[in-house]
Amino acid sequence: MRYAKRGRARFTSHRDFCRAFERALVRAQVPMAYSSGFNPHLRISYANASPTGAATEAEYLEIALAVVCEPAAVRDALDEALPPGLDVLAVAEAKPESLTDLLQASRWEIDLVEGDPEVLAAAVAAFLARDTVEVTRMTKSGLRTFDARTAVVELTALDGVRLSLLSLHGTPLVRPDDVVTALRTVAPELATDQPPLILRVEQGPLVDGRIVDPLA
């Protein structure tokens, strides 16, 4: 299943979305399968969720059903049951491969909101010319330093102070805000208190340098 977080819904956390989605399954009367054991729960598998605050057109999850259903009917029922800004875009029968294994890369659009386009273009060139650019981010395990350069396949300055980023999924996962931090490392004059506006455009298998639809 592919879904989007749009508008103000981009500020919902992954946990908030999970709660909203489970309620939508009940309202839409989707015949869900449950896990076995003492405390059975809905069989839902979420994959590589976007960071809170990022809008996205390409989030994915898998559900297991108790009976065979028409994918289009499930899509329409769930999209109707979800709150505004959380939209189900496509539903298909699951593939044998793990969904997580299929989601190898993401393409993002990043709007820095303010800054000098020429400085941004120079920062992109300087970033791409380096072999490593280390950034530090607070994680669940504490403060962690890692290389943000290795994950970047493409980074392009667009009109104004906007960027197009194609990045690989790995461990640790390099997020678009990590790349913004890295750019500000090589070009401190880009630093601002204004948070960037981030949109995930697509994610899926990376084939010949481009992302293909994981549901195709």
Q: Predicted confidence band at 207 (pLDDT cuts at 50, 70, 90)?
A: very high
Residue 171's pLDDT is 85
Residue 138's pLDDT is 82
Residue 110 and residue 132 in contact, taking contact as beta carbons nearer than 8 Å: no
How much is the average pLDDT of 167-175?
A: 92
Residue 139's pLDDT is 80
Residue 13's pLDDT is 94
How much is the average pLDDT of 4-23?
A: 96
**CA 164 centroid distance within chain:** 14
Residue 99 CB-half CA count within 13 A: 18
Phi and psi, residue 16, nearest 5°: -60, -45
Residue 5 has pLDDT above 90, yes or no: yes
Q: Go through the domains of the chain in sequence order and give each one's CATH number.
A: 2-99 (no CATH), 103-211 (3.30.70.100)
Task: Note the pLDDT tens digit of each residue in 16-57.
Answer: 999 999 999 999 999 999 998 888 899 999 999 999 999 999
* Tokens at 35, concatenated: 């896990």
**E strands in the chain:** 2-5, 44-47, 55-63, 86-90, 105-111, 134-139, 142-147, 152-157, 162-168, 197-204, 206-207, 210-211
Of the candidates 121, 132, 200, 196, which has an alpha carbon nearest to the alpha carbon of residue 166?
Answer: 200
* Tokens at 73, concatenated: 């009917």
Residue 204's pLDDT is 97
Before 172, cis peptide (omega within 30)?
A: yes
